[in-house]
Amino acid sequence: MSTPKRKTRFGILGCGLIASVHADAISHIENATLVGVADNKYEFAESFAQKRGVKAFNDYFDMLSCPEIDVICICTPSCFHAQNAIDALNHSKHVVLEKPMALSTKDADLIIETCKKTGKLLTVISQLRFSEDILRVKNLISDGALGKITLCELNMRYYRSPEYYSSSPWRGKLAFDGGGALMNQGIHGVDLFEYMIGDIKNVNGVIKTLVHDIEVEDSAVAIVEFCSGALGTIMASSCAYPGFNRKITINGSDGYVILSENKIEKLVIKDTVREEYDLKNLSMANDPATLKYLDHKRQIENLISAIYGEEELLIDASEGRKAVKIIEEIYKTSNEFNK
């Protein structure tokens, strides 16, 4: 009989909106438990800890040094991710790191090096990769069911209100958020685009701030060439009132698929498959607070299994770097375009 696994013990750093999703996910995993939380505003940690019946750490380094914690979930504003992850790894903790893993590939590389040096596992949150329909589409493409992939479109016309930007001091600020419609909201779609279709060879884009009073882009477009030869476009907005489901359309020589958020809306394969679903507007298009924990739970379960050597870690730091690299390239080419 195999020895039962002891519970994997978690700490959460940053007690805002996404921290609740992490805490909900952990509480729904049988072999996991939340031990404590920390925030640079101790009162936030205290009130979060009280609701969840866990410890509030006054100092984040006390949480990192706590021997009763195995994994740190990093839920701080994006600009702190790289340093927080490196600190946690250097304190011998495994890490669940919110997206974007870092604001540059240079910082992403420092995280990758620290993972190698410490031998600890780090997963970068891209929870939608764990959605059933995303996995189904990825498999259809890799099995050749859609034929040769030709044209692909990522169309994210989201809306974020002025209150969204004013509700946290870091949102929309270049130094803290690192970018806008792409680096913050769009990174999920960019990650899925490459994950399902394959590696991207070239990207060229233009970004603008058209509506919001923010330092980062609220509008972006890009042209993409995949290594397979397929061509694509990316469109991302955080000012497309009232906000629409993110659509990904993938056309091949034998069929096509349209995804609405993480659900298949239409799938057609020559002579064999014809599926169509009537999907409502899903609320992520205009309200990030409606995010549910299920896909985070699946990703955290994968990390736990990887810690025990039972599964391969599906989204490690090198995987998380890919979307940062594409977005960085769009920003770079946009600067050149605007010269």
Ligand X SMILES: NC(=O)c1ccc[n+]([C@@H]2O[C@H](COP(=O)([O-])OP(=O)(O)OC[C@H]3O[C@@H](n4cnc5c(N)ncnc54)[C@H](O)[C@@H]3O)[C@@H](O)[C@H]2O)c1
Which structure tokens are listed for 224? 């993409």
Q: Please identify, using beta-carbon distances, which residue of 185 and 251 lies nearer to ligand X.
A: 185
Options 37, 63, 66, 76; binder of ligand X; rule CB under 6 A:
76
Grouping H, G, I as helix, E, B as strand and the rest as coil, residue 72 is strand
Residue-level length of the chain: 339
For the segment 180-239, give every residue that binds ligand X (CB under 6 A): 184
* Alpha-carbon distance values, 117 to 90, 92, 150, 151, 252 (Å): 9, 11, 41, 41, 42
How many of the other CB atoms lie within 10 Å of CB of 306? Answer: 17
Work out how close the CB of 146 gets to ligand X at its nearest, in angstroms, rounded to a whole number: 27
CA angle 323, 308, 105 (to 5 degrees): 20
Of the candidate residues 95, 96, 125, 300, the single one contacting ligand X (CB under 6 A):
125
Among 233, 288, 306, 316, binds ligand X (CB under 6 A): 288
**Which position among 12, 18, 156, 190 is part of the footprint of ligand X (CB under 6 A)?**
18
Burial 62-82 (b: 16+ CB within 10 A, else e): ebbebeebbbbbbbbbbbbbb
- Residue 36 DSSP code: E
Three-state DSSP state, 314: coil
Exactly one of 13, 66, 101, 196 binds ligand X (CB under 6 A); which one?
13
Stretch that binds ligand X, among 75-83, 142-150, 303-311, 315-323 (CB under 6 A): 75-83
Q: Which stretch binds ligand X (CB under 6 A): 9-17, 132-140, 223-231, 321-329?
A: 9-17
Q: Give the number of residues in contact with ligand X, rule: CB under 6 A.
A: 25
List 87, 98, 191, 218, residue binding ligand X (CB under 6 A): 98
Minimum distance from residue 322 beta carbon to ligand X (Å): 16
**Of 27, 28, 42, 44, which lies in the binding site for ligand X, with binding defined by CB under 6 A?**
44
Q: Which residue is nearest to ligand X (CB)?
A: 16
Nearest residue (CB) to ligand X, 100 versus 252:
100
Q: Checking phi first, is residue 111 left (phi over 0); if not, alpha (psi -120 to 50) or beta?
A: alpha
Q: What is the DSSP letter of 155?
A: E
Q: Which residues bind to ligand X, rule: CB under 6 A?
A: 13-19, 39-41, 44, 60, 75-78, 80, 98-99, 125, 127, 168, 184, 288, 291
